[in-house]
Amino acid sequence: MKNEYYFNLLVKKEIPPNKDHEDIFFKMFEFVMGGTLYESSSLDSLKDILCEESYYIAHNLVTYKGNKAIFKGKVVASEKENLVSFLYKSAELDDLRALLIAPIFNEKPKYVIYLTEDSCHFYHKN
């Protein structure tokens, strides 16, 4: 399976070279798996939820070899304004993919937004 989704409509920031993209993704992925669904939102309500300036955006593309999950997507970083614009443009073009979005973090995310083609979910930890 190839990941042909390159976030071409998104103005991206560089992720520091010491950050592992797979590690960033799985921290967000695990957060969603163990987090509490706080709210199911629409794309329009994201502007109110996104209160930090910079975010990781990961294409949620995972395959499995046995029980081992293998990340096949891509992780990028972007500013809030660019992210919101990207999401609206992608939805307008019917090119919105399954994404995990979290404020830039070091150890673990404060919250994660799980966005699919049809819905938007906000996860947090108590």
pLDDT at 1: 46
Share of the chain above pLDDT 70, in %: 96
Q: Residue 104 half-sphere exposure, CB side, CA atoms within 13 Å?
A: 15
When pLDDT is averaged across residues 42-65 and rounded to a whole number, the result is 91
Closest CA to 49 of 83, 99, 95: 83
Strands 62-65 and 68-71: antiparallel
Query: What Rg, from alpha-carbon coordinates, does the chain have?
Result: 14
pLDDT at 46: 84
pTM: 0.91
Q: Where are the domains of the chain?
A: 21-124
pLDDT score of 103 more than 70: yes
